[in-house]
Chain A
């Protein structure tokens, strides 16, 4: 049988082409996969949406300044594996809709590797679904438990969300413990925001379940109400021995003034709001004797060396700004800035250990965190995604000494 040479050549050519096509294809695919496995060059981008301007800039801008202190340190030490750390900020003015669009923009347009969430529960809850859908690490500063534990604190957290704020349940547990340990008839007054009513519900929960106490009265008020006589008269009529308050300092001052006017001599105990400057300024001497449960990191001279170190670094960069205050030591509210500093350091250390910004790898390294922070020694587990436990919260009292009104830690 005679085989045509042209057919042989055609057959060989076809085989060669097929080999070339599939061979080259495999090789290109392999190269592409290798490239994909490699970290993209360029800086590590951290996105932050917060209230940088507007009436609530106190919160967002304070965090941003703390981040800058930490990022300067990281970059002066060569960044992470030679990659510079870059902070990309967006202003949300604590508006949930702005926070949502900011987070989408940070992820889709800026292509950030990690996200620092907004301050405040409303903007956080708005931005959270986007962060979860994109499986990007999300550092939260929302006090609402649901922002990290969607089904309750005893249920699994969102895998990619870690919270650096005292949770409402933690704060409420401390308030309830103080009240139940010292008084029998407990009255509660809270602002009508989610923060206020959420904390109120937790206080009632802990009082009833841990101490078998039902509050003699619970009241709400709207922020900036000029008069709260009605609510206070009801608590007075219920013979409350202590009034627990959750709200802003200026509102707490209006409550305290109202109690004084009504000759209602119940003890007054609050959360962080009663240690803020507006409470001292508006309530004046009436503030003396008020007690509260709060992070005591910066109550008086800081006790932790890490807290002192952070305050010194902050002062070196920003001086006596609104957050540091005019004094030698920053005010109690400065604990909030230390949350910002600790959170970004914990996150960047996890990235450094993981050697990548891949979310799953970073989450695993977050569980290996053992960080002596400015505010607290921070650890996480797959079940515990909040940085500050019950033990973190202390009790302090407003006193009057030689230097005027002061805040002192209580045992």
Chain B
């Protein structure tokens, strides 16, 4: 019973990390940039929605407006920050630049909405709703996150394999120069990938906030864990990231339950370093071949 509780909790927590990791994966695949501002995007989407619904606007409309706001922010970030930095500074300056965007958003949010954590309305399920499986009570809100992750993976596969945009994105991932030669608007494809990433951050925030509440610092830890899930699962493999996230969640919860919560991060980051040393492309990632 105790072990079952831990295992189920690990899977559900892992699905949260996977959802964030998937949002980091797409822009990296297309443009080799990981938006480290993703954590703040989670926060900003949720606080924007809380702000919008405070004017009496229905929650569903607030969510749409919040996702539009975060899409615009993702677009602005790509055009005004990432693209110029990558073009002029080269190297890995985008790491500092995207972290800077995240910190700036945090500061802005604290100034406008205050530093206090705010509650977020329940989405479909209440925070106390649960489903009992094998005498273990599972949070329906957490199960919803797992369901959404699986749904996103399915939709993403459909998008990539069945739509023109998806195929163009795939071509851009393979070779940007060739894609340009074939007349594809690579710049636009990159923008779309960042916008989708922003929307995924917004969805992650909306699903997690009813459980934890939200304040300006919300999202940074999740972004880090999402990044670890991405590394473990492997860049490029969306289903691999889900497995990476679940492995991460299971490790955390089992270490907390069987040893102590105070050492869980030590174990997690040892796992990350070991993965980077032994298998840097992750469990399900593609080994990169460079043309000479």
Q: Which residues of A contact B (CB under 8 A)?
A: 53-58, 192, 219-222, 224, 226-231, 233-234, 237, 248-250, 253-254, 257, 260-263, 276-278, 280-286, 322
Contact = CB atoms under 8 A, between A and B. Distances in A.
Given A220-B262, A222-B221, A284-B127, A322 B114 contact: yes
A278 B119 contact: yes
Contacts of A285: 128
A227 B253 contact: yes
A58 B114 contact: yes
B256 A230 contact: yes
B110 A54 contact: yes
A364 B72 CA distance: 60
Contacts of A224: 212, 217-218, 221
A261 B137 contact: yes
A35 B17 CA distance: 67
Across the A-B interface, give the 8 residue pairs with the lowest CB-CB distance, nearest first.
A281-B119, A230-B256, A229-B9, A230-B257, A278-B117, A250-B213, A250-B117, A282-B213
Nearest to A285: B128
B137 A262 contact: yes
A265 to B, nearest CB: 13
A229 B3 CA distance: 11
Q: Secondary structure of the B side of the interface?
A: helix
Contacts of A254: 211-212
Interface in B205-233: 208, 210-213, 215-218, 221-222
Interface of B: 2, 5-6, 9, 12-13, 16, 106-107, 110-111, 114-119, 126-128, 130, 137-139, 142, 208, 210-213, 215-218, 221-222, 252-254, 256-257, 260-262, 265
A322 B253 contact: no
A233 B2 contact: yes
B142 A227 contact: yes
Contacts, number: 124
A53 B115 CA distance: 9
Nearest to A249: B117
Contacts of B114: 57-58, 322
A12 to B, nearest CB: 77
Contacts of A283: 127
A285 B114 CA distance: 24
A253 B16 CA distance: 18
14 contacts: A53-B107, A58-B115, A222-B261, A226-B13, A226-B208, A227-B9, A227-B253, A228-B261, A230-B261, A233-B5, A233-B6, A278-B117, A278-B213, A281-B213
A332 B262 CA distance: 31
B217 A58 contact: no
A53 B130 contact: no
Contacts of A222: 221, 261, 265
A57 to B, nearest CB: 5
A393 B46 CA distance: 36
A220 B265 CA distance: 12
Contacts of A322: 114, 116
Contacts of A226: 13, 16, 208, 211-212, 222
Contacts of A237: 2
Contacts of A281: 117-119, 213
A370 B243 CA distance: 64
Contacts of A262: 5, 137
